[in-house]
Amino acid sequence: MAPMGIRLSPLGMAVFCLLGLGVLYHLYSGFLAGRFAFFMLSEPAAGGPETPHGSAPGGAVDLRELLAVSVLAAVRGGEEVKRVREGNVLNAKAKGKTREGAEEQLTTGDLLSNRRMFYLLKGAFPAVQINSEERVDTADQETVSWDHSIPEDIKQKIQPKEVPAESVTVWIDPLDATQEYTEDLLQYVTTMVCVAVNGKPVIGVIHKPFSSYTAWAMVDGGSNVKARSSYNEKAPRIIVSRSHAGKVEQVARQTFGNKTVIISAGGAGYKVLALLDVPEKNQEEADVYIHVTYIKKWDICAGNAVLRALGGHMTTLTGEEISYTGSDGNEGGLIASINMNHKALIEKLPDLEKTSHK
């Protein structure tokens, strides 16, 4: 007897093939849909924008937009600083010591302001390098969006200007004058953002959270702040850090005479504002700002940009320009002035460079 075989009818073969196709469809439909969605998101729609807002073709960023976001970031960070202080939940602790041996304080205000400012800027300009005083904890990431609006005063004074994204470095100080913040000396407290292009500060924002005053300026652009009408070169009022008054006073009086006034204050942002015409009742006025020791760049970059935009100067004590690339510290101290003979000031104070290393 011949062996019996199993024969499938044409209808059975068709059913079998359809079942196989159904299995394959269920296995790969999700994958294919995902790939299709990725393709659609990767390719710009016809007539639509080809790059994210805040960026331009070729990896460029618009400095006017970056200024608008920087102002918003300083204000949003300031809201956190103020909320923590008014709620008295500082949780202050020492995070280390300065080179002079003083304790550096860290508070909840520093951390929350830093998180808000960093993620707002990073979300709007993901291709730009951002340096901040405080460490960013990626596990504590926050989504902070920018609505793409530009304040009217910035629109009126600043024209769009594109620069390569790789040339830009943003410096954030989420809470300047932390020591004074813990001591409730709130007039000294600021939040600051600075934008440097190829190491040169071009955008500066200094915000005072406890009075809601904000100063901003862009080099070769415009500003919402101006220099005062007069300065005293012969017997200047010199503003210095609270801990440096003694170091500067003797040299300054020997140079300019006993009429020289030494003003001790907290916060680098506050000291730069002292050189300007600021409508603040508790803002002191000075002619020169001097710092005689090492200082971090996020402390001074915003002030440097504002002064440059207004025709002023901030240099090391020996007159060298400060570059805002590379390391986060400035070794040579600083001297800042506006509407004065900056070179002559440096030549009159030759001993301060030596003082800075003591």
- Write the pLDDT tens digit of every residue in 328-352: 999 989 999 999 999 999 988 866 6
Instruction: For residue 136, count CB atoms less than 10 angstroms from its CB and return exposed for 0-12, middle for 13-18, buried for 19 or more.
Output: middle
Assess whether pLDDT exceeds 70 at residue 19. no
Q: Does 46 map to a domain?
A: no
Show which of 183, 208, 223 is a domain's final residue.
223
CATH code of residue 289: 3.40.190.80
Is residue 62 annotated as involved in ligand binding? no
Of the candidates 51, 198, 204, 203, which has an alpha carbon nearest to the alpha carbon of residue 125?
A: 51
What is the model's pLDDT at position 10?
A: 61
Do 91 and 165 fall within a single domain?
yes
Q: In the annotation, is 110 catalytic?
A: yes
Do 246 and 323 fall within a single domain?
yes
Per-residue confidence band for 246, with pLDDT thresholds at 50, 70 and 90? confident
CATH code of residue 214: 3.30.540.10
Is residue 175 annotated as involved in ligand binding? yes
- Taking a C-beta distance cutoff of 8 angstroms, is the pair 333, 316 a contact? yes
Do 129 and 204 fall within a single domain?
yes
% of the chain residues with pLDDT over 90: 64
Of the candidates 214, 220, 188, which has an alpha carbon nearest to the alpha carbon of residue 201?
A: 220
Tens of pLDDT, residue by residue over 59-77, are: 999 999 999 999 999 999 9
Give this prediction's pTM. Answer: 0.82
Q: Which domain holds residue 77?
A: 60-223
Do 71 and 198 fall within a single domain?
yes
Is residue 173 annotated as involved in ligand binding? yes
Residue found by looking up tokens 């269920």 in the block: 26
Show which of 223, 256, 271 is a domain's final residue.
223
Do 230 and 316 fall within a single domain?
yes
Q: Does 11 map to a domain?
A: no
Do 165 and 77 fall within a single domain?
yes
Do 213 and 290 fall within a single domain?
no
Do 98 and 192 fall within a single domain?
yes
Do 178 and 305 fall within a single domain?
no
- Can you tell me the distance from the alpha carbon of 304 to that of 158, in angstroms, rounded to the nearest whole number? 19
Assess whether pLDDT exceeds 80 at residue 354. no
Instruction: For residue 29, count CB atoms less than 10 angstroms from its CB and return exposed for 0-12, middle for 13-18, buried for 19 or more.
Output: exposed
Is residue 310 annotated as involved in ligand binding? no
Do 213 and 253 fall within a single domain?
no
Catalytic residue among 107, 178, 191, 293: 178
Do 208 and 78 fall within a single domain?
yes
Q: Does 29 map to a domain?
A: no
Is residue 153 annotated as involved in ligand binding? no
Assess whether pLDDT exceeds 70 at residue 319. yes
Q: How many distinct structural domains can be found in the chain? A: 2
Do 202 and 279 fall within a single domain?
no
Q: Does 278 map to a domain?
A: yes
Show which of 223, 258, 281 is a domain's final residue.
223
Q: In the annotation, is 325 catalytic?
A: no
